[in-house]
Amino acid sequence: MTIQWFPGHMTRARRQIEEKLKLIDVAIELLDARLPSSSRNPMIAEILGVKPRLVLLNKSDLADPAMTERWMERLAEEQVKVLPIDAAAGTNVRMILPRCKELMAPKFEAWRKKGMEPRAIRSLIVGIPNVGKSTLINRLAGRSVAATGDRPGVTKGQQWIRIGKELELLDTPGILWPKFEDPMVGYRLAATGAIRDEILNVEDVAFYLAKVLAARYPNVFSERYGIEKLPEDMENPHEVVELLEAIGRRRGAVMSGGKIDLKKASDVFLRDLRTGKLGRITLEAPE
């Protein structure tokens, strides 16, 4: 299965971002800490150009902390400021404004030399669908000003949101890109919920996830599902299906006659990843 998803409103969102860019001082790029590379839209760098940028690794509470450290080192090599956050819980969110001020220091100094007082920083929040943009904005604002949801595509338009006296945010819809050059990018995004399940074959996505976790985090199967012995050959499709069926058997996905509902088992498996019930997991390494 090849996963691609680029609804029409994302094309409009790109055009709107490009139109508003001249008003922006600092861009805030929100990535998923569980897949910092796959959740990074290559179009964003092209759109933003040399605009000062703060990269936030959101959902860091769900990611492997050791891997997050490695990703921060990797991203820092690009000469961008990086901050791991958990927008839902508010972890490190208070550090965003100081980091934006650091990026604005040269412009503030230039304004002062001209006799101008610094105004509120105008910032743009960009990221793929379901990465937590609206949750972050609501956390920064201290109130519900942006629609949130556990499915991609909730934000459809743009709006300016004032955060105190020092920061103004422009919320934008999440943007995916027209074609994933690496098909595994699509699977990673699908596994974490960035692409609507309705357009996916969830069994294929669960199949991919089972193989990745068996290689990187094999203990999750015993700790969550009581499966002590994994298949010896995870390249054998039949053995991977048997593993998913074992998950379904332990999580109540059994139909009449004892047959396993593989779709339900796949749904359960993916939901367990997305909600952190499998532990703190990162699906890709910097190298």
pLDDT per residue as tens digits for the range 20-40: 788 899 999 999 999 999 998
Instruction: Report yes or no: 56 and 96 within 8 Å, Cβ to Cβ.
Output: yes
Instruction: Report yes or no: 79 and 92 within 8 Å, Cβ to Cβ.
Output: no
Written as six digits, the tokens of 276 are 């952190």
What residue ranges of the chain have pLDDT lower than 70? 1-14, 16, 146-159, 171-181
List strand residue ranges (DSSP E) for the chain, in order: 26-32, 53-58, 81-84, 121-127, 159-163, 167-171
How many Å apart are CA 225 and CA 279, to the nearest integer?
A: 12
Residue 103 β-bridge partners: none
Written as six digits, the tokens of 195 are 């692409």
How many Å apart are CA 47 and CA 208, to the nearest integer?
A: 32
Q: Hey, what amino acid is at 83? A: L
Backbone dihedral region of 131: left (phi > 0), alpha (psi from -120 to 50 degrees) or beta? alpha
Q: Given this model, what pLDDT does residue 12 score?
A: 64
Phi, psi of 17 (to 5 degrees): -65, -45
Angle between helices 202-216 and 237-250 (to 10 degrees): 100
> What domains are there in the chain, each with its CATH number?
8-171 (3.40.50.300), 201-274 (1.10.1580.10)
Q: Given this model, what pLDDT does residue 17 score?
A: 72
Q: Given this model, what pLDDT does residue 260 score?
A: 96
How many Å apart are CA 89 and CA 273, to the nearest integer?
A: 18
The SS3 call for residue 237 is helix
Backbone dihedral region of 276: left (phi > 0), alpha (psi from -120 to 50 degrees) or beta? left
What residues have CB less than 8 Å from 65, skipping those under 6 apart? 280
The CB density around residue 116, as the number of other CB atoms within 10 Å, is 10
Q: Given this model, what pLDDT does residue 81 score?
A: 92
